């Protein structure tokens, strides 16, 4: 199958090239880059020498599948001709994640360029929407933070054991901000430093509300979502908290055991999301497509604590995109993604 990558020069785009290069069903037919057009991929990124090709301004070759790793708004505009032609597509940006156009306009400060596709696009979290993804030709890849937060909380929401009052305390490596660069992301600014940001609201907030709220039909889900920048390249860790509903699980250690059973049953058979028996670390998922989730109960406060880790560039972006492609095209869902974590 011939695949095109729009904007290979961003972190997500180059990660797509790295993963797709070893995919048994895929040939990378075209890669684009706005500022690097006319240059060779290996010249720009020597680690991609094995899949060297010319970076072009547009995809002119015939392709069977396309990924877009452009920023929001620009991504939808570039994908529109492919969508019209019936080419299957995964958008790595935020353009096709939210069902509510008012939410999109509020959080992204722009009117959606292709609103006619919002209702038919599927939110690309296979653990929740595998059947719909298999039937669609357009997937909006989840944000990195929502991927971790939703997977951390979905089993508890589905089981109805928590109150709709959730705190998500999230930390990300610097690559989550992309390659655009700003003073705040310079080495001397982030090294030996740790800070909270977007205290007035992060753009990934409505995704978490949309996905968790749709699971239990509760329009009153209250979410406090706080993000932090950690001085490391890759990785996301989210710590999620919610009160346990009265009588939903047994008291004491039996309650902890019941929560572990709920999570293990929910993710049984999932190729990449795993409920584990010890708190995870970001290095446990570095470079691979896993999301590792650890649930427990704070017995003193009767509160769920669910911790999840993933690589923001793999399960949080490019790897999830390839997983969605596999589901959309009927390939083995793990194709191209069977990679152990890099450790240490």
Active site residues: 144
The terminus-to-terminus CA distance of the chain in angstroms comes to 35
Tokens 């490391």 correspond to 232
* Residue for token pair 């190729």: 271
CA distance 237 to 247: 30
150, 76, 68: which is closest to 118 by C-alpha?
76
Q: How far apart are CA 289 and CA 148, in angstroms?
A: 12
Whole-angstrom CA distances from 233 to 85, 230, 273, 284 are 38, 8, 22, 14
Q: Residue 185 contacts by C-beta under 8 Å, 6 or more apart in sequence? A: 174, 177
* 176 and 144 Cβ atoms separated by less than 8 Å: yes
| Triad 307, 310, 316: Cα angle to 5° | 125
| Phi then psi dihedrals of residue 298, to 5 deg | -80, 100
Strands 27-32 and 2-6: parallel
- Give the tokens for residue 333: 């869902």
Is 341 within 8 Å of 288 (Cβ atoms)? yes
């Amino acid at each position: 199958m011939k695949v095109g990558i729009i904007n290979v020069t961003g972190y997500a785009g180059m990660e797509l090239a790295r993963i797709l290069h070893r995919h048994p069903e895929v040939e990378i037919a075209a890669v684009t880059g706005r500022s690097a057009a006319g240059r060779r991929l290996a010249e720009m990124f020597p680690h991609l020498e094995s899949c060297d090709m010319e970076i072009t301004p547009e995809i002119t070759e015939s392709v069977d599948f396309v990924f877009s790793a452009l920023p929001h708004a620009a991504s939808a505009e570039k994908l529109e001709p492919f969508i019209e032609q019936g080419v299957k597509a995964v958008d790595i940006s935020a353009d096709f994640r939210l069902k509510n156009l008012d939410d999109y306009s509020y959080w992204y400060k722009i009117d959606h360029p292709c609103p006619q596709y919002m209702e038919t696009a599927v939110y690309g979290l296979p653990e929740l929407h595998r059947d719909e993804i298999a039937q669609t030709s357009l997937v909006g890849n989840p944000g990195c933070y929502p991927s971790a937060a939703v997977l951390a909380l979905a089993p508890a929401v589905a089981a109805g054991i928590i109150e709709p009052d959730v705190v998500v305390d999230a930390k990300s490596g610097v690559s989550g901000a992309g390659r655009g660069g700003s003073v705040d992301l310079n080495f001397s600014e982030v090294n030996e430093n740790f800070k909270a940001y977007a205290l007035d609201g992060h753009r990934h907030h409505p995704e978490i509300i949309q996905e968790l709220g749709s699971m239990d039909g509760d329009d009153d889900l209250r979410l406090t979502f706080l993000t932090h920048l950690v001085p490391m390249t890759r990785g996301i860790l989210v710590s999620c908290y919610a009160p346990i509903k009265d009588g939903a699980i047994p008291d004491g250690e039996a309650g902890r055991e019941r929560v572990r059973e709920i999570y293990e049953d929910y993710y049984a058979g999932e190729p990449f999301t795993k409920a584990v028996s010890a708190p995870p670390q970001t290095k446990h998922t570095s470079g691979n497509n896993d999301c590792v989730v650890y649930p427990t109960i704070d017995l003193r406060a009767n509160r769920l604590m669910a911790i999840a880790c993933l690589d923001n560039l793999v399960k949080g972006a490019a790897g999830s995109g390839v997983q969605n492609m596999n589901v959309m095209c009927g390939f083995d869902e793990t194709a191209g993604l069977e990679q152990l974590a890099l450790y240490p």
